Amino acid sequence: MNDHRRLGRELGIFDTDPLVGSGLPFWLPAGAAIRKAVEDYVHELERRHGYQHVNSPVLGKRELYERSGHWAHYAEDMFPPMLLGGEEFVLRPSLCPHHALIYRSRQRSHRDLPLRVAELGGMYRSELSGVLGGLSRVRAVQLNDGHVFCAPEQAAAEVSAALDLVETAHALLGVRAARYRLSLRGDGGKFVDDAAMWARAEAVLRAVLEERGRPYDEERGEGAFYGPKIDIQVADPAGRESTLSTVQVDFFQPGRFDLGYVGGGRPVMVHRSVVGSLERLVAHLIEVHGGAFPAWLAPVQAVVLPVSDAEVPAAEGLVRRCVAAGLRAELAPPARGSLGARIRAHRLVPYQLVVGPREVAAGDPPDAAPVRLRDGGQAGVVPVEELAAWSRPAF
């Protein structure tokens, strides 16, 4: 069984230390490379679909979260306030209040809508020690978050478009949804008490799911405190489910922040996360791929293997060409063992470039080499630029 907690450490993706604390893993070089590849892909995917990217602070005054409703409905999951200069500041549990303020920082017209903003930002959850585990449940989360501010009549189309993005990204990443869940309001003070508002938001989500022909389950008590959501559930090898990506309809926070637009009324806020938190996503990908990541996502995309010491200078030059072309490449010199042993040691690397006397004679450094695939197949002699093109995500 591919347990990401074991594999992630063996592959140098992440680790933890008691001096940092539980639920606060750090990314090692291989993990940082995977994370950057995901960030770059999602950023470009969003840009191509009309999103503007923003950055906002990880702190906010307590008043901000009182205004957003988090303090009244979500405080038990937040870190306690920090007193500074007579004011209380809180590590944010969510990015949406900041994005609401970004929306209202300028006067908006109906012609500006829908306004799509996105951010890869940190948020913090005061999780109990007993529920923490590897990358899948952490206290410091890097969330691929985004919010669409739109007119009410645009909400259904924006929800559907967000689901398109989710499904596109999941297909490329190799993620298979276990099920779609319509998460609804439950009982008690955890949820905003406005039945009409909930029914209106629920109707939008349900209509989109029905129109798309997507089977889904309903679960009471799993909605956000301000509104219902579509959760895309994934399962680990043991069958345990978790939520990876979400799309939510929110009529509550636009009113709390008095958002509006010229020539209309109050916008709807569609919350969406294409790939969820990077921590939970990478935990899932480690288990799905067993460390054999797609070429565009692999920490090392190409390894250059000189047959003998005589080919090392040419192999070093080939590594430099690969790096200049945008590949994550490294050298595996003969000092590390026989050619067969080095191939086995790099069995998870998508492309293995073997440099022998023929490649040295072809150029100094060579601009192509025979490529061995990790499944044992041979791709023939491939120019570096072509190999780099193979190693980029498709849009």
* CATH code, domain with 133: 3.30.930.10
Q: What CA dihedral angle connects 104, 108, 114 and 118, to 10 degrees?
A: -40
- The pLDDT tens digits for 122-131 are 999 998 887 8
Do the domain assignments include residue 181?
yes
pLDDT score for 109: 95
Q: Judging by beta carbons within 10 Å of its beta carbon (0-12, 13-18, 19+), is residue 297 exposed, middle or buried?
A: buried
Do the domain assignments include residue 297?
no
Last residue of a domain, one of 289, 313, 335: 289
Q: What pairs with residue 227 in β-bridges? A: 224
* Residue 178 predicted with pLDDT over 90: no
- pLDDT tier, 263 (very low <50, low <70, confident <90, very high otherwise): confident
- The pLDDT tens digits for 142-164 are 999 999 999 999 999 999 999 99
Report the amino acid identity of residue 237. P
Do residues 338 and 385 both lie within one domain?
yes
- pLDDT tier, 341 (very low <50, low <70, confident <90, very high otherwise): very high
**Is there a contact between 274 and 245 (Cβ–Cβ < 8 Å)?**
yes
Last residue of a domain, one of 260, 289, 318: 289
pLDDT score for 131: 81
Do residues 196 and 64 both lie within one domain?
yes
Cα(182)–Cα(175) distance, integer angstroms: 19
* Residue 84 predicted with pLDDT over 90: yes
Do residues 277 and 309 both lie within one domain?
no
- What does the block give as tokens for 226? 């301000």
% of the chain beyond a pLDDT of 90? 88
Please state the domain count of the chain. 2
- pLDDT tier, 240 (very low <50, low <70, confident <90, very high otherwise): confident
Do the domain assignments include residue 82?
yes
* Residue 49 predicted with pLDDT over 90: yes
Do residues 144 and 242 both lie within one domain?
yes
pLDDT score for 366: 83
Determine the structural domain holding residue 158 and report its residue range.
Answer: 4-289
Q: Judging by beta carbons within 10 Å of its beta carbon (0-12, 13-18, 19+), is residue 362 exposed, middle or buried?
A: middle
Do the domain assignments include residue 266?
yes
Cα(382)–Cα(353) distance, integer angstroms: 9
- pLDDT tier, 380 (very low <50, low <70, confident <90, very high otherwise): very high
Last residue of a domain, one of 289, 320, 345: 289
Output the domain CATH number for residue 371: 3.40.50.800
- The pLDDT tens digits for 196-208 are 999 999 999 999 9
Average confidence (pLDDT) over 270-280: 97
Does an H or E element contain 340, and which? helix 339-345
Tell me the pLDDT of the chain averaged across its residues.
95
Do the domain assignments include residue 296?
no
**Is there a contact between 372 and 378 (Cβ–Cβ < 8 Å)?**
yes
Residue 304's nearest CA partner among 341, 349, 348 is 349
- The pLDDT tens digits for 225-237 are 999 999 999 988 7
Do residues 22 and 101 both lie within one domain?
yes
Cα(34)–Cα(103) distance, integer angstroms: 32
Q: Which residue has the higher pLDDT, 256 or 189?
A: 256
Cis, bond preceding 365 (omega within 30 deg of 0): yes
Do the domain assignments include residue 173?
yes
Q: How many CB atoms lie within 10 A of CB 290?
A: 15
Does an H or E element contain 377, and which? none
Do residues 258 and 341 both lie within one domain?
no
% of the chain beyond a pLDDT of 70? 100
- Helices and strands, number each (H, E), in the chain: 13, 18
Cα(326)–Cα(7) distance, integer angstroms: 26
Average confidence (pLDDT) over 282-291: 94
Do residues 346 and 375 both lie within one domain?
yes
- What does the block give as tokens for 103? 């929306």
Do the domain assignments include residue 285?
yes
| 99 contacts: CB under 8 Å, gap ≥ 6 | 54, 56, 117, 119, 145, 147
* 3-class SS of residue 2: coil
* Residue 133 predicted with pLDDT over 90: no
Half-sphere exposure of 120 (CA within 13 A, CB side): 17
Strand ranges (DSSP E) for the chain?
14-15, 26-27, 52-53, 59-61, 82-84, 87-91, 115-124, 140-150, 179-184, 217-220, 229-235, 241-250, 268-273, 302-306, 329-331, 351-355, 368-373, 378-383
Do residues 321 and 272 both lie within one domain?
no
**Is there a contact between 160 and 212 (Cβ–Cβ < 8 Å)?**
yes
Do the domain assignments include residue 72?
yes
Using left for φ > 0, alpha for ψ between -120 and 50, and beta otherwise, residue 43 falls in alpha
- What does the block give as tokens for 208? 């989109």
Do residues 349 and 328 both lie within one domain?
yes
Do residues 375 and 233 both lie within one domain?
no
Do residues 181 and 285 both lie within one domain?
yes
pLDDT score for 60: 97
Distance of CA 379 to the CA centre of its chain: 31
* Residue 390 predicted with pLDDT over 90: yes
**Is there a contact between 292 and 174 (Cβ–Cβ < 8 Å)?**
no
Do residues 223 and 312 both lie within one domain?
no
* 3-class SS of residue 322: helix
Cα(52)–Cα(102) distance, integer angstroms: 11
